[in-house]
Amino acid sequence: MKIGNIEIKNNIMLAPMAGVTDYSYRHICKEMGAGVVVTEMISAKAMLYGNKNTIPLLKTDDFERPVGVQIFGSDPDIMADMALRLEETENYDFIDINMGCPVPKVVNNGEGSGLMKNPVLAGKIVETMTDKLTIPVTVKFRKGFDKDNINGIEFAKIMEESGASAVTLHGRTREQYYSGNADYDYIKKVKESINIPLIGNGDVHSVREANELMKYTGCDGVMIGRAARGNPWIFTGAEDKPDRKEVFDMILRHAKMMIEDKGEYSGIREMRKHVAWYTQGMRGCVNIRRQVNYIESYKDLEECLSKEL
């Protein structure tokens, strides 16, 4: 599979997720076998105004490659200018545009999946960006805004015509958020309608399921999102997490990376949600989560986990 001029040797990818796919976790998933990783979504306007919270989200290195940066917004010129700044100052292989985020504060600004209601503007954003950039532009979107506005096929065609090198389709509408089932039949229809690579997304819980999705729909790659939270082993092809000790060892390693990247105060507090994901379904997980909600240091985390082994 190729995204523009980028050769993708492994088409099982880590989907961008706000609050999840930061620098530390992308590294872990890459080690485990994720073929492509993408940053958390970044606001083009926040970049424009120099928002200090945006800068840490941009951190990357050669180990992550091929790596994409995901941005969102609704102003074609701002989007293109910020994308060009990223191309010139960072080490990303492609720019991904988020046109699928269902969160109200994003949608109400006409951004994220709000752009699915305005395909002409969405196309203008892609066209303006591709005119300015030399690296590929990709787009992630949904099958439609709601059940009365299923326009994923039309939308995908406009993205292709506007210059996108690949698209990722989540097989749900914005209205569904993450409820119900991803529509693989619709992913198949979109794939049959375009000539650029299509990456499928939604309800994939293993490499085996990713391969089944590619076989069924003909899509060129798969992004694994929520199922990868607390389970980087998913990219090894494993159907289940390893034993308790290995999971705990990974939690501690992840925590060390977070502290190194963000400092102990922020790193440990951000690890709380990751610990909940890592231990989901594990014996005593409710008690572990309860304790972890009060930890304030790496030592606290270490002591908590040692008691639960």
Rounded to whole angstroms, the Cα distance separating 212 from 215 reads 5
Residue 304 annotated among the catalytic residues of the structure: no
Question: Tell me, what amino acid is at 57?
Answer: L
Backbone angles phi, psi at 103, to 5 degrees: -65, 130
Asked whether 108 and 114 are in contact (CB, 8 A), the reply is yes
Catalytic residue among 101, 219, 285, 304: 101
**Distance in angstroms (rounded) separating the CA atoms of residues 193 and 200:** 14
Phi, psi of 254, rounded to the nearest 5 degrees:
-60, -45
Interatomic CA distance for residues 148 and 28, integer angstroms: 40
Q: CB–CB of 233/256 below 8 Å?
A: no
Does residue 4 sit in helix, strand or coil?
coil
Read off φ and ψ for residue 263, nearest 5 degrees: 85, 155
Q: For residue 213, what are the CA distances in angstroms to 45, 167, 198, 207, 221?
A: 36, 16, 12, 10, 9
CA distance 57 to 154: 32
Catalytic residue list: 101
